[in-house]
Every structure is written in structure tokens, then in C-alpha cells.
Chains A and B, each alone.
Chain A
């Protein structure tokens, strides 16, 4: 009897949990679509910027730009982007594992100091638990990063880089490849890798040899274009991370909802079995009693 009541109670609580996870899945889906459209909205700007940089650097040829040259400082920075909230499956775990692996590798390879810049509560807690020192830890960038916030971060990094305080800057984040595929990646932010123009078929080909009027000179333009590119790249990293987080949460909550459904089915089966057993026992009792009397 007690067993049956327990089963009923457990089934009710699993049902409640399923309700919650299903709601979270729906919320994550809505958020994902929003983040995705935000991320997509950044594409035209990024592509055009890349085109302009390509045009300007063709004009100037090989020119010395501070953002393109690796410094000789004995210090580098690794930026790690994680989420502020949990319940998103392996999202944070994967990013942090990749970051840790890179950290160990870099430390083993050279005696250069490596600054950790951690964004997102989950990453901060993780490194704090490990006792790692963080040069920057910031949880204020929500799951919808604004360009202003990210640009401020990028400007600080570029300043430090130009002053020669940092040799390289890398970003470890969850790259959003498609809705089905996200993978943790480490990309170099500074020095700026060679900028490829956004090749979009005929457009790119025709844009290749345009004789632009440059106002001011191409070289001066490049001086402004490159920082803009760095800001944009970092912004895209943050956006990718935000989109991937929502996808991960969506998938995790879908799995949780499905698992709860399976569990409810199992509990129902067990309950029915227990009920049937109890009825059989009672019947046996009665039949036994009748047999004893007659």
C-alpha cells in the first residue's frame, strides 16, 4: 500500500518537473530565435567591413600596422566566454575544458604569463574553484550582448596590445556553425589575422579592382578600419556564444523533457503492477478465508 502511494507521489513530481523543463525548452527556443536573428543582423556590416579592409590593404600593399604585428611582450591573454546561467547541458563544460587544455598546453610550452579574461558567471565560478587567478572576470554581459559593451572590451585589449603589454590575444568560445553543430573553438583576436574579403560570387569579383577615391588616404583609413574589425570580430564571438548557449539549453531541456516522459511511463507501469499485485493478494485472502469456513 505504502509503495503504491509513493509511486503516485513520485509520478506527480516527475510530471511537475516535466512541465518546468518543457517551459524552459520553449523559452530557450524563443530566445534562440531572437539571438539568431541578432547574430544574422551583424553579417552585412561584418562582410562590408571585410570588403573595405581588403580594398584598402590592396591599395596600401604591405604596410606596417600595429594591430597586425605580434608584440614581444612576455604576456598573452586568453578570453573565455561562458554563460551566466546553467541548465544548458555541456555548453560551459565544453568551453571550459577547451580553455583548460589550451591553458595547460601554453603553460607547458613556454614560461610566458597568460592572463585569463573570463566572461560569464559559470566560467568565473569554475576558475575560482580551481584557484586560478583571473585578470578580468565580468558577468555583466547578458545573453544579448550589445555592441557598445563589447566594443569597450575590445578597445581595452587593443590599447594593451598596442602598448606592448600583450603579445597575443585569443578567444575561447562556443562557435555556432549551425543549429545542429556548435563546437568550442579558440581563435586569435590579436594580432589580427589576414582579413579575407567576404567572397560572395560575382559581387566580390567585381569589387576586386575598383579604383576608389580614398578620403583620407588608404593608409589612414586602414588605421581606423582595423580596430573596427577587431571590435566586430569580438562582437561576433560574443554573439556566437549567446546563440550557442540557447541552442544548448534548448537541446538539454528537450532531453530532460523526454527523459521525464520515459520515467512517467515507467512509474505508471510499476504503479499498475503494484496495484494488480495488491488486488490479487486481497482476492487470495478472501478465497482462502472462504475455503477455511466451508
Chain B
């Protein structure tokens, strides 16, 4: 069972980030993680800010994704996101500073509040990604 794989494709508007086989994927959907394995039923979901985890024959892979969409169809997982990063691309210091700045920021209305929360989450997620791998 574990050796059954599906195709996985991570795309951003600017380039294709990753193309690989995977045995398992955990997608950071907007309301919690969704696990995907071989022969999953077709799925179209919205992503939140989070970490996409993949189990591939070459070992586990972790990618930060900043919202977007994911589609599973016919053993093909496609992740569309406007920003993606591997742990090695994350500048921890910069993210820490960004998080601190966001926490300091004054949010007057609901929109600003939301933008602030998003900024904090982004920075925190990137740090988490960089910290653990």
C-alpha cells in the first residue's frame, strides 16, 4: 500500500516549484489539514497559510504555501499558490522581525485586523518550517 504513489505538482504564478511522486500529502486547507493518498476521490480545496507535507520515495518534503488552491484528480495533486518556499529559502531573522512588526502594528478596523493576523501567521509558519528541518 505504502509504495503506491501519485503525482504531485506545486506551481506558483512565476514558476513550477516542485514536481515529484509522493505516497502521502498533507495539504494545509483553509480549515485544517487534509491528507491525500493514492486513489483519493477528486478534491478541490482552498488553502490557508501553512506547510505542505509530502512523503516521497526520496524522503519527506516540506514546503511553505501562502494560500491558494489544491486539486486532486486521477492521482494527480496540483497545488497552486502565490508563494511557496522551502525551508532553506526562509530567512529566519527577517521573518522574526516581520512577525514582531506585525504584532506591534495598530489595527483600526476589521480589515486591518485580518491583514495583521495574516502577516503574523505567515511569519510564524515560515519560522516553524525553517526551525524544524
Contact = CB atoms under 8 A, between A and B. Distances in A.
Contacts, number: 81
Contact of B44 (A38, A44, A214): A214
B80 A213 contact: no
Contacts of A45: 11-13, 80
A129 interface: no
B69 A215 contact: no
Contacts of B92: none
Contacts of A214: 44-45
A45 B84 CA distance: 13
Nearest to B29: A215
Interface of B: 9, 11-16, 29-31, 34, 41-46, 67-69, 71, 73-74, 78, 80, 82
A56 interface: yes
A214 B71 CA distance: 10
Contact of B78 (A48, A151, A211, A215): A48
Contacts of B13: 42, 45-46, 147, 231-232, 235
30 contacts: A41-B16, A42-B14, A44-B9, A44-B11, A45-B13, A45-B80, A48-B11, A48-B80, A51-B71, A52-B71, A52-B80, A55-B44, A56-B44, A147-B12, A210-B73, A211-B42, A212-B71, A213-B45, A214-B44, A214-B45, A215-B30, A215-B31, A215-B34, A215-B43, A215-B45, A216-B31, A221-B44, A221-B45, A224-B67, A231-B82
A67 to B, nearest CB: 16
Interface residues of A, number: 33
Interface string A45-67: 11011011001100000000000
Nearest to A151: B82
A41 B29 contact: no
Nearest to A47: B11
Given A216-B46, A228-B69, 8 more contacts: A45-B11, A49-B69, A49-B80, A214-B45, A216-B31, A221-B44, A224-B46, A228-B68
Nearest to A221: B46
